[in-house]
Amino acid sequence: MVRIPEISPPTLEWIGDETGSLQLIDQTLLPRTLKVLDIQDCATLIDAIQRLAIRGAPALGVAAAYGAALAAREAATPQEWDQALQALRASRPTAVNLFFALARAEDIARREREKGWDPQRLLRLLLDEARNMHRQDQELCLAMGRHGAELLRDGMRILTHCNTGRFATAGIGTAFGVLVTAHAQGKDLFVYADETRPLLQGARLTAFELEERGIPGALLCDGAGPGLILSGEVDAILVGADRIAANGDTANKVGTLPLALAARHAGLPFYIVAPTTTLDPETREGREIVIEERDPREVTLGPEEGRCPPGFPARNPAFDVTPAELITALVTEKGVASPPFSSRIQDWAAE
């Protein structure tokens, strides 16, 4: 097994005991400034989630687990804790990992309530659970990396979208973790990273991580990806996921679908890499996935004023859905699945 170096500071970590805090990198300031936020309460965490100081489905799941513990520390009554979890749940409606983490917290709270309301005991249990989820996500990333690296050969040119590395998880990443693993194995890869507008997660975060890991690559305008695929300059497309429906339809950062369509037209493999915590067997197909619509000012203003005429309207869907028939394989910590995906998704979700 190859050794993959850890990078400090981590994207998120809990510091101290039950009186401690959640520390996380403010990703909105990267790559120019590396600032660590000290999160002492649930409301501050929700604000960090909503403004994308922390993002990426697996990282949101771990952060939400710590948020449930913070809520227990603050809540005077069970009802106050319930309200805090509702606010956490509403902070990012598409990322299923967040819902998964909160469901686990609610299961613990439900059992504890039968013994009476003891917020200190609940805090200890929820903090233990959050730490456990944190470790699990690190292990899942390593397993996905191993499985996915088997799909890559030396000399491949990979196109990826958004950010799926350490800034999106508690570990080395999902799709980016595959690249990190293959690179550590000595495979010579070249990675094209889409800018990922309007918030430039590819330009700000993925390019940053490529430099951190010493992986050769280049930045692309979002609109350049499909053309590059069809020109024969890409060998495979590797992306993450925020929610995978029971039939394999996959919600990911907006701009993923055009890459999948181009890959199908060019006959190239299009891989989704995500932990099984991103599977949502209760959602039958992609049309049922709620797509978060973000503030249109992210489109019209962006990093500079005057991107478009003042007051001009804009739409800002944060995700799109790639139909299962466009996906070559799903890579999870449990292995690689080829289509049709429905039975394997049900089996994985039931384990």
Cα(62)–Cα(57) distance, rounded to whole angstroms? Answer: 9
Sheet holding 21-25, edge to edge: 12-15, 21-25, 36-39
Crossing angle between the packed helical segments 42-50 and 78-91, to the nearest 10 degrees: 10
> Which pairing describes strands 270-273 and 250-253: parallel, antiparallel, or unpaired?
unpaired
Q: Cα-atom radius of gyration of the chain, to the nearest Å?
A: 20
For residues 206 and 162, is the Cβ–Cβ distance under 8 A?
yes
Residues with a known catalytic role: 242
Provide the β-strand partners of residue 317.
293
Kindly state the greatest CA–CA separation across the chain: 65
List, in sequence order, every beta strand (DSSP E) within the chain: 12-15, 21-25, 36-39, 157-160, 190-194, 217-220, 236-239, 243-245, 250-253, 270-273, 279-280, 319-322, 329-332, 335-337
